[in-house]
Amino acid sequence: MVVDVEMVAAGITRRGTVCRLKDARSGPGLTRSAHAVRLAYEEVGPGALWVIGCAPTALEELLTLDASPALVIGLPVGFVGAAESKAALRESGLPAVSNVSMKGGSAVAAAALNALLYHLAAPASKEKS
């Protein structure tokens, strides 16, 4: 499972994560977050679960890769690029969880993942008629 920032990783319970932001460098036309996505993809390859809760540029970079993710939780936050990157995610056809506003964030992304994991792990309730 790949996360864009350590704050997302901190909110994910009992799961290992990959975050390469500390190793990333910015350059002309490339943000640290975008470079971190490239580094993480080199490490995990296709089919990973991606949780992006901070940087719209991380989500944009993921969409440019041929990552074939199992799932993308794309909930970056901010006034610049967040809503647009989430719209691009929805239009990509990738399996995804997102919203339609500039709201989101690390805690929201981690909570979305935890909700999915706990829902899948919980035994089905039996309703009595």
CATH architecture of 2-121: 3-Layer(aba) Sandwich (3.40)
75: Cα separation from own chain's centroid: 7
Confidence of residue 42 (pLDDT cuts 50, 70, 90): very high
Handedness of CA 31, 32, 33, 35 (dihedral sign): positive
- How is residue 72 written in tokens? 């993308």
- Given a cut of 60, is residue 127 above it in pLDDT? no
Q: What pLDDT, on a 0 to 100 scale, did the predictor assign at position 121?
A: 63
State the average pLDDT over residues 41-68. 96
Domain edges within the chain: 2-121
